[in-house]
Amino acid sequence: MEDSTQEPSGAAAHRDRPGRSAGTPAPRHAASGRHAGRISGTGIPSAVGSNTVDDVDLAVVAEQLGRGPRGVVGIAARCVCGRPTVVRTAPRLEDGTPFPTTYYLTHPRAVAAISTLEAGGVMAEMTRRLAEDPDLAAAHRAAHEDYLRRRAELGDVPEIANISAGGMPARVKCLHVLAAHALAVGPGVNVLGDETLALIEPEWRPTRCTC
């Protein structure tokens, strides 16, 4: 099994405008320069169970990750410019490997900003709060259950039964996972994912393009 830590890459122009649902159709623009194959639209970034992915999306994800994507079954959240931000991944990869990380963050700027948080000790602080705050612990467990339920929609993999990702339900192991889940399903489901996104807002937010 693999974790969801990713290495950051470069970024360019910044544009503020409303985001859009991953499942909302939008027109393809004519390919030209570095904006080739992007999609535009409006709405709040969120997951839709019928997410789809095409060759353009997969090429962008490969560029973002610096490697070929594996097991991608949909785009769970997009940048306002249309490029993938979070991919939805099958619980079993093509080679048979169990893969518990259903929602995988791909946007380089978001990845870099969250990596900086992790290096600053935010995960240890969140884990301490989970041990001290019953309400926060209950919300974190609820996020874990939501993650398992959404992964089960993609198939049953006994090897990872009751294992979600990111340290859920008892601790915080990867902020990228929590933020990806929050971006995919919307606010109020993964509270520590929501908190992570709020903490990185000066560097990256889903309503501002930094691709």
Cβ atoms 39, 25 nearer than 8 A: no
Q: Where are the domains of the chain?
A: 15-209
Can you give the pLDDT of all 211 residues of the chain as single tens digits? 444 433 333 333 334 444 433 443 333 322 222 222 322 222 333 333 346 899 999 999 999 999 999 999 999 999 999 999 999 999 999 999 999 999 999 999 999 999 999 999 999 999 999 999 999 999 999 999 999 999 999 999 999 999 999 999 999 999 999 999 999 999 999 999 999 999 999 999 999 999 9
CA distance 179 to 15: 21
